[in-house]
Amino acid sequence: MNAAPNPWIDPSYVVDNWDTILAYTAQHVRLTVLAVLIGTVIALPLALLARRSRWLSGPVLGLSTLVYTIPSLAMFAFIAPFTGLSETTVLVGLVLYSLVVLVRNFLAGLQSVPADVVEAARGMGYGRGRLLARVELPLALPSFVAGIRIATVSTVALVTVGVIVGQGGLGQLIVGGFNANFYRAPIVTGAVGCVVLALLLDAVIALLGRVATPWTRMPTRRRAGRRAATAGSAA
């Protein structure tokens, strides 16, 4: 007796289960975006605190790193008794994991602001709040964007572990395939969906970062203009 066909790529599976795939994808996007947004809101004041006080820098970075060492399955299992088998359980875990990347990148960005620029702004009468909003945050923004991109891609992968509480987004397809006698189509669909989703979100954030930091492209444009002018004069 021949075994039933079990192809790795099965377009008919995608067509027949399109609504389910869309629902899991929407959940995956929702959890990822919310986790990174909440993580960003928490990470910025922590980074500011760590930069302002050296004796707080070690504990802040150490605590965020310690959280990241906790296995994701164990993390969700610890949280579940308090929040139930809900998206909140996954969201709390994802936010905690995102902090190690976000806090470090935000702190690095703030520390990379040239001291002479800060002193010049202070000499112009900038107060602490205005200095932060008008000088330090804009100059640190490229590092912020880099951290958000890394956190987003890693969060897309971590969402799948939420399947342990029934809230794993596209991870539900992957685990469902394993549970159905290694049915390959949902496994591949879920895995490819995660990769595509990570690439799309990363591209969107990178584009937004370029729009928000036009000054980072000015030197390149100037060099290109100079090369074009040199080539024109040589011709």
- Average pLDDT (70-86) is 86
Higher pLDDT, 217 or 87: 87
Tokens read off for 106: 């935000």
Q: What is the pLDDT of residue 66?
A: 85
Q: How far is CA 33 from each of CA 58, 109, 121, rounded to the nearest angstrom?
A: 28, 22, 35
Whether the Cβ atoms of residue 102 and residue 43 lie closer than 8 Å to each other: yes
Higher pLDDT, 2 or 108: 108
Stretch among 38-47, 151-160, 220-229 having the lowest mean pLDDT: 220-229
Whether the Cβ atoms of residue 171 and residue 161 lie closer than 8 Å to each other: yes
Level-2 CATH architecture, domain 11-226: Orthogonal Bundle (1.10)
Domain ranges across the chain: 11-226
Q: How far is CA 153 from each of CA 35, 147, 167, 195, 199, rounded to the nearest angstrom?
A: 12, 10, 18, 9, 8
Stretch among 19-28, 70-79, 225-234 having the lowest mean pLDDT: 225-234
Long-range contacts of 203-210 (CB under 8 A, 24+ apart): 205/145, 205/148, 205/149, 205/152, 206/145, 206/149, 208/145, 209/141, 209/142, 209/145, 209/149
- Short-list 223, 216, 217, CA closest to 112: 216
Q: What is the pLDDT of residue 178?
A: 86
Place of tokens 């702004």: 121
Q: What is the pLDDT of residues 101-159, one digit of tens each?
A: 999 999 999 988 888 888 888 888 878 888 888 888 899 999 999 999 999 999 999 99
Q: How far is CA 1 from each of CA 4, 5, 80, 183, rounded to the nearest angstrom?
A: 9, 12, 45, 19
**Residue 228 pLDDT greater than 50, yes or no:** no
Q: How far apart are CA 199 and CA 193, in angstroms?
A: 10
Whether the Cβ atoms of residue 173 and residue 189 lie closer than 8 Å to each other: yes
Q: How far apart are CA 36 and CA 153, in angstroms?
A: 10
Work out the mean pLDDT of the chain and round it to a whole number. Answer: 85
Q: What is the pLDDT of residue 219?
A: 57
Whether the Cβ atoms of residue 136 and residue 110 lie closer than 8 Å to each other: yes
Torsion angle defined by CA atoms of residues 71, 46, 37 and 167, in that order, rounded to the nearest 10 degrees: 20
Query: Radius of gyration (Cα) for the chain, nearest Å?
Result: 23
pLDDT band at 68 (very low <50, low <70, confident <90, very high): confident
- Average pLDDT (62-75) is 84
Q: What is the pLDDT of residue 214?
A: 84
